[in-house]
Amino acid sequence: MKKNILYQKGLFYNLNLLKKILFSLIIFLVFITYSCNSEQKILNVGIYTEYPPFSYKEDDKIKGFNIDFLDICLKEIKYKPNYIEIDFDSFDKLKNGEVDILMGGYPIIYKYPDGISLTEPYFDMSLYLISRIDNPIDSIEKLSDKKLILPLYTFSEELVKNVKNLEKLPYKNYSESMKSLENGDTDAVLVEKVLLDIYSLDENKFIKVKVYNQGLTIVLREDSDELRYEFNNTISNLIKTKQYKNLILKWFEEEWWKAIMLQFMELVQWALE
């Protein structure tokens, strides 16, 4: 009987101890969660909202690929965004501290004013030349006397304007273009990197060569070394993930990609003049 009573007391004591431990653990987790949230710093983001689908307004809400991408980045580096609409050339607002970063169609190749720094590109807008393995073409110069499928009236056409005797064929869509290439109806296809991200390239049949380097970047002040380092680390990791590819699939459709590239390349040409 004594043993039974002692056993019950011991069980009661252990249960009470377990409850205290669980309660302490809950309090600790609540404290940690609160601490993490309170550690989030506000980042004033100057966002250019006239560049759909990267960043634009719909029903008074800012949305787009840039917003989704930046939200993921800022969660990683423990910042909370405060979006402020700006004009594209609002570099003075960045320099005087009204905003901490600029985002919204800023190219890596561009004539930026002094006192500005850039992150690594978070979106690749480079152009690639695709040809068959049995008939490789590894440069723009080697397109002389060849047939090339490309988006007409875009920067792609500007890129090949000095190629002699080049027959330019209009780009319709990726699958038709690759079929024409495989069948020998054209010698090469000029496409943007995003299409290679969306569609798979059969590397047993085709080769790809980058012929023009361009991309989108986040613009910071020159002295924002720590913030730039945090962004670069996050960007380099994120662009390799399935989550990043899903963002591309969510926001980009081939039928209006030509219009985006036209708008972007016109902006770049204007800036470089």
The three-state secondary structure class of 82 is strand
Q: Nearest to residue 214, comparing CAs of 131, 141, 146, 154?
A: 154
The three-state secondary structure class of 155 is helix
Tell the burial category of 129 from Cβ atoms under 10 Å away from its Cβ (0-12, 13-18, 19+).
buried
Residue 143 contacts residue 120 (beta carbons within 8 Å)? no
Amino acid of residue 162: N
Per-residue confidence (pLDDT) for residue 200, from 0 to 100: 83
Per-residue confidence (pLDDT) for residue 252, from 0 to 100: 84
Per-residue confidence (pLDDT) for residue 270, from 0 to 100: 47
Per-residue confidence (pLDDT) for residue 7, from 0 to 100: 47
Phi, psi angle pair for 123, to nearest 5°: -145, 120
Phi, psi angle pair for 104, to nearest 5°: 135, 65
The 3-state secondary structure of 202-246, one letter per residue: CCCCEEEEEEECCEECCEEECCCHHHHHHHHHHHHHHCCCHHHHH
User: What's the gap between Cα 180 and its chain centre?
Assistant: 30
Pairing of strands 101-103, 41-47: parallel
Per-residue confidence (pLDDT) for residue 272, from 0 to 100: 46
Per-residue confidence (pLDDT) for residue 62, from 0 to 100: 96
Q: Is the peptide bond before 113 cis (omega within 30 degrees of 0)?
A: no
Q: Nearest to residue 74, comparing CAs of 226, 219, 225, 231?
A: 231
Q: Mean pLDDT in runs of 10 for the chain (273 residues)?
A: 50 56 62 54 96 92 96 95 96 97 94 95 95 96 96 87 95 92 97 88 95 95 96 96 91 61 52 49
Can you tell me the distance from the alpha carbon of 151 to that of 147, in angstroms, rounded to the nearest whole number? 13
The DSSP output letter for 113 is: P
Q: From residue 144, give the alpha-carbon distance in Å to each of 68, 157, 163, 168.
A: 42, 14, 6, 11
pTM: 0.74
Q: From residue 224, give the alpha-carbon distance in Å to each of 94, 95, 183, 232.
A: 11, 11, 52, 12
Per-residue confidence (pLDDT) for residue 21, from 0 to 100: 66
Per-residue confidence (pLDDT) for residue 172, from 0 to 100: 85
Beta bridge partners of 84: 46
Beta bridge partners of 172: none
Radius of gyration of the chain (CA): 27
Residue partners of 164: CB distance under 8 A and separation at least 6: 144, 145
Phi, psi angle pair for 239, to nearest 5°: -70, -10
